Amino acid sequence: MVLGIILLLSSIQQGLAATPAEVYRKAVPAVVLLVSMEPNSKTRSKGTGSMITDRHVLTNAHVVLGDSGRPMDKTLVFYSFENPNDGIEQNFRKGRQAKVSHYSEKLDLALLEVEDPPKVTPLGLGPADSVQIGDPVLAIGHPENGGLWSLTSGRIGARIRNAEGVRGNHTFQTEASLNRGNSGGPLLNEDGQMIGVNTSIARKASDGLAITGINFAVQSDVAREWLQSVRLRLPKVMAVAANRPTPTPAPEKPVATAQETKPATATAEATKPAATAATTKPTQPTPPAQETPAPVVVSTPPKAKQEPQLLTKPRPFRDDQLFNHISNQTYAEFSQQLEAEFEAFQKQQGQ
């Protein structure tokens, strides 16, 4: 009798979705802060990205492209476990250099390769075709003037085919709160899989009326197909949890999103052209699906703890402070390099 009750409870638990806290704890190590800038101009951008292999980051193209439509001179990648989400301790000394290996302005996607990345379990790309309208989703990102690595949640509001008239650019509309700085971040399902790349937001109608709660993410299947076209090998991800019923794909709207604001990732100080709209989409967590390690990715994520905890420290963070700090740090590194080269030159002359 007791054994039967235990087995029944165990089977019920397996079918339950993971809490947002559990999904957040598992996913956040693979979510990065991206800062791109051109030292000789005022062009700069702050956004979010996801580690999808042991050294590759997927994000929006508008996060890393400058006014010329080419990648900016410098892009730094920061990890949550190396940088405090604290308004006083603004160190950010662990920024790793990254280079843009591929990008698509039409799909607003970019692939970065990080120099000397830490070991983290990459986020798996989940199936977009099984996502239904009304499904809960979560987003992790760095909204302007908000906390870094902050969590927002919502539901899928619509499926849109060929968004903005771009063939193959299929997106999700979500009510999840997204703002500038969320661009390029992951939209996660209940299994902790990335089902979208948060890209744009709608904030103002053609007649000036304010729009709220309308945000968009490029569907994971679109991102997967594009990554395959640039010959990146991705890990295979199992569909949904075994005890959860498989949903029927929801109908998609053959409508282009209108009146979307520019990239949700670029900060107010960024001077980028308004070509693509951007923003992150919140998702609600579910138990992470088990992933089979891909040729590029290794190790499975640790088991999520059961006890609840604060998702993100409630300290506001001003973007100008972040940019100023990184600019000063870049100048200091450049000065040290010049001094070292001058000393080496003097030694050479003295021989």
Two structure tokens written together for 210: 């304010």
What is the C-alpha separation between 7 and 230, in angstroms, rounded? 47
Whether 284 has a pLDDT exceeding 50, the answer reads no
Beta pairing partners, 45: 36
* Residue 295 or 240, more confident: 295
pLDDT at 41: 75
Q: Is 108 a catalytic residue?
A: yes
Predicted confidence at residue 223, as pLDDT, reads: 97
25/44 Cα distance (integer angstroms): 29
Q: Given pLDDT bands bounded at 50, 70 and 90, which one contains residue 247?
A: very low
Is the predicted pLDDT of residue 308 greater than 70, yes or no? no
Active site residue 170: no
In this prediction, residue 235 carries a pLDDT of 67
> Which pLDDT score, from 0 to 100, does residue 1 have?
53
Q: List b or e across 274-285, with b for residues whose CB sees 16 or more CB atoms inside 10 angstroms.
A: eebbbbbbbbbb
Rounded alpha-carbon distances, angstroms, from residue 288 to 19, 147, 223: 10, 24, 20
Q: Which of 45, 80, 150, 183 is catalytic?
A: 183
Q: For 219-247, what is the mean pLDDT?
A: 73
Which has the closest alpha carbon to 126: 278, 20, 283, 264? 283
Going along the chain from its start, the domains and CATH numbers come out as 18-299+309-331 (2.40.10.120)
pLDDT above 70: residue 151: yes
Determine what percent of the chain is predicted with pLDDT higher than 90.
Answer: 49
Report yes or no: 31 and 50 within 8 Å, Cβ to Cβ: yes
Q: 3-state class of 328 per DSSP?
A: helix
The one catalytic residue in 36, 45, 54, 56 is 56
pLDDT at residue 86 tops 60: yes
pTM here is 0.69
pLDDT band at 195 (very low <50, low <70, confident <90, very high): very high
Catalytic residue among 108, 135, 191, 319: 108
* Across 306-317, average pLDDT: 39
In angstroms, the Cα distances linking 97 to 32, 73, 78, 94, 112 are: 12, 11, 9, 10, 10
Say whether 183 is catalytic. Answer: yes
Please, are residues 155 and 137 in contact by the beta-carbon 8 Å criterion? yes
Answer left, alpha or beta for residue 162, where phi above 0 means left and psi between -120 and 50 means alpha: left
